Amino acid sequence: MKTPASPAYASRLEDRVRRLALVSAVALGVIWWLAHASDSTPAAARALLAAGWITMPSLLSLSLRLPALRIGVALPATFVTAGVLLVTEAALRTGAAAAPGWLLLTAGIVLGDFLGCWLWFRLLPVPRRLEDPHAPLRLLAVGAHVGLVTLGILIVAASHAGTV
């Protein structure tokens, strides 16, 4: 079994961190762009999303050399969550066509926050059957996070089609 002290475990964790850095750079850029394309997005939301987009992949990449920095991803995650909440509130308030997409996106981001706190930072006990990053139930939870975010992005993008 691969333990946190084993080189194989460290290599797999580094691969996951690299993948997360790349995915966050792309996904957060798309989210920022969609928020920026909306007339109802508050300036504070744009700033928070830009800060999250810059700092999340940067901290993840730096944490490959300095693993102690990894806990710092809580800050950009907070930026992104707050920014998306502001965009969602504005979309709901103005009756924007993108509001359902922003709601799904918010749900996916909040689920990702919870999963990160639980499965990565271990703020709550993790059952043995969820220890392995490839455990079916864990993959299902991560898949729900990714699916909600992706579906939200697609709905928001579709609502902006022809207006951007």
Per-residue pLDDT reduced to its tens digit, 98-137: 999 999 999 999 999 999 999 888 889 999 999 888 899 9
pLDDT at 1: 43
2 or 18, which is more confident: 18
- Picking from 118, 115, 96, the residue whose alpha carbon sits closest to that of residue 107 is 115
Neighbours of 135 (CB within 10 A): 15
Parse the chain into domains and list their residue ranges: 7-160
Is residue 162 over pLDDT 70? Answer: no
Q: Which residues contact 150 (CB under 8 A, 6 or more apart)?
A: 108
Mean pLDDT, rounded, for 53-65:
96
Say if pTM beats, i.e. exceeds, 0.85.
Answer: yes
Is residue 146 over pLDDT 60? Answer: yes
Among the ranges given (15-19, 61-65, 120-124, 143-147), the one the predictor scored with the smallest mean pLDDT:
120-124
SS3 helix, strand, coil % of the chain, rounded to 5?
Answer: 80, 0, 20
Could you tell me if 27 and 57 are in contact, meaning their C-beta atoms sit under 8 angstroms apart? no
Per-residue pLDDT reduced to its tens digit, 11-55: 788 998 999 999 999 999 999 999 999 888 999 999 999 999 999
Cα separation, 159 vs 66, in Å, equals: 41
Six-digit token pair at 149? 């975010």
